[in-house]
Structure 1
Amino acid sequence: MHLQEWTMEEQEQLIHFMTTNTWPYHGNSHPGRQLIEKAIEEGGYESDVVKTFWVENDSGQKVGIVKIHDLQDEIPLFDLRIEDMSRGYGYGSKALKLVAEYVFGLPEKKIRLEGHTRQDNLAMRKTFERAGFVKEAHLRKAWFSPKENSYYDAVTYGMTREDFLAGTTTPVVWEDEGKQSKVSAAPIIPNFSETFESERLVIRAPKLGDAPDVWNAICNSLPALREWMPFAQQAPELHQTEDNMRRAVADFVTREDLRLHLFLKETGEFIGSSGLHRIDWAIPKFEIGYWLDTKFEGNGYVTEAVERITQFAFEDLAARRVEIRCDEENAKSRSVAERAGFVLEGTLKQDALSADGNSLRNTCVYAKID
C-alpha cells in the first residue's frame, strides 16, 4: 500500500471520487461537483500549504484520498477519506501510518501530526488508535452537521515526532484538580481473519455492498422473522438496510460487534446473518445470534454456521464463554443451540419483551465454556 500524489490532471478523477461516495461524518456528506471544483480552483487540494494524495492498495486500486493541510506550520493536519466499498479492510490505519512517515520525513522536522473527527465516528477513532495516534482532546458541541442541523462533540488525536521515531505510543495523563486519574488497561483484542469457511459456507464480515442481498432476504422472510426479531416488525426500506450496514461495518472495525454474513460456497448466494454480539473482551465472552432467509431453511445451514463460529470464537478470539440466548418458545432456535452442543444453563423468567413489545417472555440461556 502506498500514497500517490494527486495532480491537477486528475481533477475529474477526484471530482468523481468525492461525489460518488458518501461521507456521513463530515460536514457535507454528499458534496456536489460545483463545490469540489471551487475547492480545487481555490487551492483546497494543491497549494503551498496543502497536498493531496491518493491512497492506493497493493493492487494499485485507488481506495481513498488524504489531504494534508498547514504544511508550512510545525503541526500539520490531515483529512482522510476511504471510499464506501473499501471500508472495513484496514486501509485507513495503514494510510495514516504512511501519512505519518511522509510528514515526519519532511526536512522541516515537524513537531506533531493531528486529526479531528466526530465523537460518534467509532470506525475513524479506532483507525487513529491502530495507527498509533493518541486521543488528546474532547470538545463538546464543536462539530456542526448541516444535514441534521445539530452539533456533535468532537475528538482530537495526535502523534508526536518523538513517538513516531521511537515507535511508541505515549498516552495522555489526564489531571483533575491536581489529582492524576487512574487509567485502566484496555483489554487486548487479538488479530483475526475476517473471512473463514465451513463445509458448505463462506462466513465473513459485512460489506456495504451486501445491503441489497440482506434487504431482499429480510423482505422475503418477514412472516417467519417477525415473531422473534424486533428489526422485522415492519418491512424495511432499502436505505434503512444500507444505513444499518454502515453501522455493522463500523462496529466490526472497532470490534464493538462482529456481525458475520453467510454465503453458500457453491453459488455465492447470501443466505442469512449470524455473528458474535454483546462482547466482553476482558473475559472474553460472546453471544451468537442468527437468522436465515426462509427459502434456505431445512438444510442445517444455521447449525453448521453456529458450530463454525463457535470454533472461531474459541480458537481465534480466545473465548472463555460463548452463549446463545433465545425466547423459551422459539423451538427452532433452541434446537440449533442443542444440536450445536450448547448446554442449557437456565431460564430467566420474564426477562425480555416479545419482538413486538407487547408481552413479557422467558429467555433460555445456553452456553459453551473453554
Structure 2
Amino acid sequence: MRLQEWTIQEQDLLIQFMTTNSWPYHDISEPGRELLEKSIEEGGYASDDVKTFWIENNENEKVGIVKVYDLQEDVPLFDLRIADRFRGYGYGSRALKKLTQYVFELPEQKIRIEGHTRHDNAAMRKAFERAGFVKEAHLRQAWFLPKENTYYDAVTYGMTREDYLAGTTTPVRWEDQQRHEKSIPRFDESIATERLLMRAPELHDSMDVWGAVARSMPSLRRFTAWAQEELTIETTEEHVRQCVADFIARKNLYFYLFLKETGEFIGSVGLCSIDWGIRKFDLDYWLDTKFEGQGFMTEAVKALTDFAFEQLQAERVEYHCDEKHSKGRAVAKRSGFELEGILRKNALSANGQDLRNTCLYARII
C-alpha cells in the first residue's frame, strides 16, 4: 500500500470518489459536486498548507484519500476517508502509519500530528490505536451534526514526534494536577567551545557514531555496559533514534561532539537520569580512542557542566564510574568534580562478571 499525491488534473476523479461513497461520521455525509469544486478552487485539497493523497493498494486501486492540513503549523491535522467497499480491510491504520512517516520526515520537524472523530466511530478509533496514536481527549457534546440537529461526543487522538522516533506509545498522564515538578527551562541545543561543536543528536549521525564506537570497542567494553552487546549499523541506528527521542522529551540530554576545524565526530557527552524536580543530573561520556590524549573530553565536560548550571538551573551534577576507570576519573577531576565517596561492591562490572567499587564525583552550584 502507498500514498500517491493528488493533483488538480484528478479533480473529477476526486469528486466522483467523494460523491459516490457515504460518510456517516463526517459533518457533511453527502457532499455535492458544487461544494467540492468550490473547496478545490479555494485550495482546500492542495495548497502550501494542504496536501491530499490517494490511498492505493497493491493492485493500484484507489481505496481512499487522506488530506493533511495546517502544514504551515507545528501540529498538522488530517482527514481520512476509506471507500465503502474497502472498509474493514485495515487500510485506515496502514494509511495513518504512512501519513505519520510523511509528516515527521518533513524538514520542518513537526512536533505532533493529531486527528478528531466522533466517539461512536469505532472503526476510526481502532485505526488510530493500531497506528500508534494515543487518545488524548474526550470532548462531551462537541461534535454537531446539522443534518440531525444533534450533538455527539468527540475524541482526539495524537502522536508526538518523540513517540514516532522511539517507536513507542506514551499514555497521557491524567494525574498531571498532582505533579509539582519545576517547569523545564528553555535552553540551547548546541554548545560551542574553543575547539568543539556540541549539538543534539540527529538521525543522520548513525554512521559516524557506528564508526567511532567500532574503532573504540576494545576500550569501551572495559567500563561500558552498552558496549557488551553486538555492534551493528542497525543497533547503532536504534540507539541514535532513542537519543534523539530522549532529547526531544528532555529525558536524557546527550550532545554529540564534533571538531570545529574538520567536522569530525569524536564522541558523546550527556546529562542523564535527570530529576527535573530537584535539578539533579548524572554525567555520562565516551570518546573515540583516535582522539584521546588531547583534552577534548575535559573541554566538553567542563562546557556541559557549565551549561547545566547556567541554562538548566542545576543544583547538582554527578559522575559515577568504576574505581578502576582511571581515564574517566581523571576527566572528572580536571573538570572540577570532587570525589564524595567510594561505594564498595555496589555494582557489577560492565561485563556483569564481578562486583566493583563505584566512585561518586559531584559538582554543586
The TM-score bracket by the shorter chain reads 0.5 to 0.7
Q: Partners in 1 of 2:239 and 2:352 — Cα distance?
A: 21
1:123 aligned to 2:162?
A: yes
- The residue aligned with 2:68 is 52
1:244 Cα deviation (Å)?
1.2
1:200 aligned to 2:195?
A: yes
Secondary structure in structure 2 of the residue aligned to 1:273: strand
The TM-score, its normalising length taken from structure 1, stands at 0.63
Give 1 or 2 for the bigger CA radius of gyration. 2
From 318, 323, 331, give the equivalent of 2:313: 318
- 1:45-86 Cα shifts (integer Å, max 9, x gaps): 2xxxxx22484689xxxxx9753347xxxxxx9956255985
Change (3 A) 1:262 1:84: farther
Give structure 1 regions of 4+ aligned residues with deviation exceeding 6 angstroms: 37-40, 106-111
From 245, 248, 255, give the equivalent of 1:253: 248
Change (3 A) 1:153 1:338: closer
- The residue aligned with 1:284 is 279
2:104–2:161 contact (8 Å) kept in structure 1 = no
- The residue aligned with 1:67 is 78
Change (3 A) 1:57 1:86: farther
Secondary structure in structure 2 of the residue aligned to 1:206: coil
Q: Partners in 1 of 2:69 and 2:346 — Cα distance?
A: 53
Q: Partners in 1 of 2:233 and 2:313 — Cα distance?
A: 36
Q: Partners in 2 of 1:40 and 1:266 — Cα distance?
A: 54
Q: Partners in 2 of 1:84 and 1:229 — Cα distance?
A: 36
For structure 1, the 5+ residue unaligned runs are: 1-5, 12-32, 46-50, 59-63, 71-76, 98-103, 127-144, 146-151, 158-170, 175-181
- 1:254-302 Cα shifts (integer Å, max 9, x gaps): 1111111100111111000110011100010111111111111111000
The one-letter code matched in structure 2 to 1:67 is F
Q: Partners in 1 of 2:156 and 2:345 — Cα distance?
A: 50
Q: Partners in 2 of 1:367 and 1:361 — Cα distance?
A: 19
Q: Partners in 2 of 1:354 and 1:223 — Cα distance?
A: 15
1:303 Cα deviation (Å)?
0.2
Secondary structure in structure 1 of the residue aligned to 2:223: coil
- The residue aligned with 2:220 is 225
Change (3 A) 1:266 1:89: farther
Residue pairs, 1:258-269, within 5 angstroms: 258-269=253-264
Q: Partners in 2 of 1:321 and 1:244 — Cα distance?
A: 27
1:44 Cα deviation (Å)?
3.0
Q: Partners in 2 of 1:331 and 1:253 — Cα distance?
A: 33
Residue pairs, 1:1-370, within 5 angstroms: 8-9=6-7, 41-45=62-66, 51-53=67-69, 55=71, 67-69=78-80, 81=100, 86=105, 91-93=110-112, 114-116=156-158, 123-124=162-163, 155=171, 183-370=178-365
1:223 Cα deviation (Å)?
1.1
For structure 2, the 5+ residue unaligned runs are: 10-53, 82-92, 116-141
Identity %: 39
Q: Partners in 1 of 2:306 and 2:206 — Cα distance?
A: 27
Q: Partners in 2 of 1:185 and 1:318 — Cα distance?
A: 17
1:153 Cα deviation (Å)?
7.5
Q: Partners in 2 of 1:87 and 1:345 — Cα distance?
A: 47
